[in-house]
A and B are shown apart, each in its own frame.
Chain A
Amino acid sequence: AQTVTQSQPEMSVQEAETVTLSCTYDTSESDYYLFWYKQPPSRQMILVIRQEAYKQQNATENRFSVNFQKAAKSFSLKISDSQLGDAAMYFCACIAQGGSEKLVFGKGTKLTVNP
């Protein structure tokens, strides 16, 4: 089964600045997908970005981009031009083919955006 580790319980960033959230994962499977989900105070889980492990190109969604380092099993999320609405819990998650094929989440990072 895969494991996901987020080593930063909390992070803060100034509005309009850039912040990077860290995530490492471990899986013995060769076919897997990685995700970042955002959970604002409403607690609705929102998909931020998705990365297929077989793709070398880092995924990008507007102000959100990832740095996918497959050999290091690292999957960090970069938020550019941070906005107040970006304040939320961010969860890194992994799902792998074979085994359980279930989405496994990290413990989350609470992001605060300061005006």
Chain B
Amino acid sequence: GAVVSQHPSWVICKSGTSVKIECRSLDFQATTMFWYRQFPKQSLMLMATSNEGSKATYEQGVEKDKFLINHASLTLSTLTVTSAHPEDSSFYICSAPRGSGGFTDTQYFGPGTRLTVL
């Protein structure tokens, strides 16, 4: 099956610092990747859609200046949490659709990154 990796798997940082999370599709190319946030015992909430070669599109209520997304290549998207605060502590998951393109492609998920902001 398709493999998506994330790095780091967990990170602890001080309040006010920035943290970068990488999402890579290892055996396929992805012009689009998705970033989700998951609080404990809750479902996944879509934060933004990462588009290779263009700006990311953010869901309503997600601050684009706090959560910077860069789709650097067809296999790499990064999420940078800027000036992190304790309320940004969460589990961040990326996904990449694999197929011929379009909404019918199945999304494959990375293993997630646990962010703790002290």
| Chain A positions near chain B (C-beta within 8 angstroms) | 33, 35, 37, 42-47, 50, 52, 91, 95-97, 101-103, 105-108
Interchain CB contact under 8 A, B95 and A97: no
Which one, B18-26, B39-47, B61-69, B73-81, is touching chain A?
Answer: B39-47
The CA of A4 and the CA of B79, in the complex, are separated in Å by 27
B43→A102 contact, CB < 8 A: no
| Separation of A30 and B52 alpha carbons in the complex (Å) | 29
CB atoms of B91 and A43 under 8 A apart: yes
* Residue with the greatest number of chain A CB neighbours at <10 A, chosen from B95, B103, B109, B112: B103
- From B43, B46, B107, B111, A106 is in contact (CB under 8 Å) with B43
Contacts of A43 in B (CB 8 A): 38, 91, 93, 111-112
Given A43-B38, A45-B93, A105-B43, 14 more A-B residue pairs with CB atoms under 8 Å apart are: A33-B104, A42-B111, A44-B111, A45-B95, A45-B109, A45-B112, A50-B106, A52-B104, A95-B103, A97-B103, A102-B34, A103-B95, A105-B44, A107-B43
B6 → A minimal CB distance (Å): 10
Residues in chain A near residue B95, CB distance under 8 A: 45, 103
Is there contact, CB below 8 Å, between B46 and A102?
Answer: yes
Whether a CB of chain A sits under 8 angstroms from the CB of B51 is no
Complex interface: chain A residues within 8 A of B49 (CB): 102
CA distance A115 to B26 in the complex (A): 37
State the CA gap A66–B107 with chains docked (Å).
19
Quick one: given A44-B112, A50-B106, A97-B103, are A103 and B91 in contact (CB under 8 Å)?
no
Q: A45-B93, A45-B95 are in contact. Are A103 and B111 (CB under 8 A)?
A: no
For A42, the closest partner residue in chain B by CB is B111
Complex CA–CA separation, A114 to B16 (angstroms): 45
List chain B residues, Cβ under 8 A from A105: 43-44
A39 → B minimal CB distance (Å): 9
* Nearest B residue (CB) for A101: B103
Considering the complex, give the chain A residue whose CB is closest to the CB of B108.
A47
CB atoms of B43 and A103 under 8 A apart = no
CB distance from A65 to the nearest CB of B (A): 18
